[in-house]
Amino acid sequence: MTSKQFWCCVLSVALCIILAKPAEASGYPSTGAIVGGIFAVTAAVVVVAVVVIHKSTAKQTITGCVSSGENGIIVTDEKNRHAYVLSGNTAGIKPGDRMTLQGRKIKMKNAAKTLVWETKKVTNDFGVCQP
């Protein structure tokens, strides 16, 4: 459990305790129903937060042929045929080879809308690209 998840849980429990108050006899739901509802909502929020955090930190990969270009080393994704300029850890990346790279997409705010792939590591090197 990461510290972010820990503090999320602590905050959720604290909110449950603060918001739980006894029900009055004037037609309000019972204390148990209120606490149960609060715990259900809190559990749903925690589950959604964990899923979002897991998705954002999941290992993303791109597979394609690496080539040299004007802006540096470029990899063309086999799935969508987009060309990405490589940044980050480019050690071991050889133009002319088909490779799988682990990293993430970076959105550039320039006029050309350049697609950039920040490489963390080379996962596979399949050798020379086949035409």
Give the pLDDT confidence score for residue 22 in this predicted structure.
61
Profile the chain (131 residues) by mean pLDDT over runs of 10 residues. Answer: 70 72 63 83 85 70 90 89 89 90 83 82 88 69
How many Cβ atoms from other residues are within 10 Å of residue 33's Cβ? 11
Q: What confidence score (pLDDT) does residue 111 get?
A: 64
Sign of CA dihedral 25, 27, 31, 32: positive
User: What is the structure's pLDDT at 66?
Assistant: 93
Instruction: Provide the pLDDT for residue 74.
Output: 92
Q: Give the Cβ contact number of residue 49 at 10 Å.
A: 15
DSSP label at residue 61: E
